[in-house]
Amino acid sequence: MSAVDTAALILRLTLGAVVLAHGINHAWGDGKLAGTAGWFASIGLRPEKLHAVLATATEIAAGLLLIVGLLTPFAAAAVVSTMTVALITAHLRHGFFIFRPGQGWEYTAVLAAMALATATLGPGRWSVDHLVDIDTDGMTALAITAVLGVGSAALLLAAYWRPAPRENP
């Protein structure tokens, strides 16, 4: 196995495990789906129950697909999309650092960048994509991931994000 294959495996497994755990936490963490829906309502995503279910399913599916290395550009696009929505709706206004009150956007940006890098690098030899001969050129995979990820996030935000108006200080 080459260094590139090893790097692809490390990226895929790390990103997939983190995103999978995040989705599982949405469904079965302390607040469960109801808590996730309440949080989505608080940041202006309507209908909140639908978005809680869809975001949870997307993160679980994307995490699993990344772990096994199947349809890698599409799984990476799902990560870019969910992280872009989270960055804009919940984290951007709190600054860069995640440890700031309200949690900044550094975490979501790093996961989105990891997803773009994973798609560009490809899934590597230790993947289902390689096993079944799904081969997407690096720049094509990057384009698929970026366009689908950012495009679907933009469509979702335009259609469903209705944040409360901010009060002037």
Query: What pLDDT, in 10s, does the model give residues 6-33?
Result: 999 999 999 999 999 999 999 999 999 9
Q: What is the mean pLDDT of residues 56-78?
A: 98
Q: What is the mean pLDDT of residues 92-101?
A: 89
pLDDT the model gives residue 164? 84
**Cα(first)–Cα(last) distance of the chain, in Å?**
58
pLDDT the model gives residue 165? 82
pLDDT the model gives residue 100? 81
Rounded CA gap, 133 and 129, in Å?
6
Rounded CA gap, 92 and 169, in Å?
19
Q: Mean of the per-residue pLDDT values for the chain? A: 95
DSSP 3-state assignment of 71?
coil
Would the pLDDT of 131 be above 80? yes
Confidence of residue 168 (pLDDT cuts 50, 70, 90): low
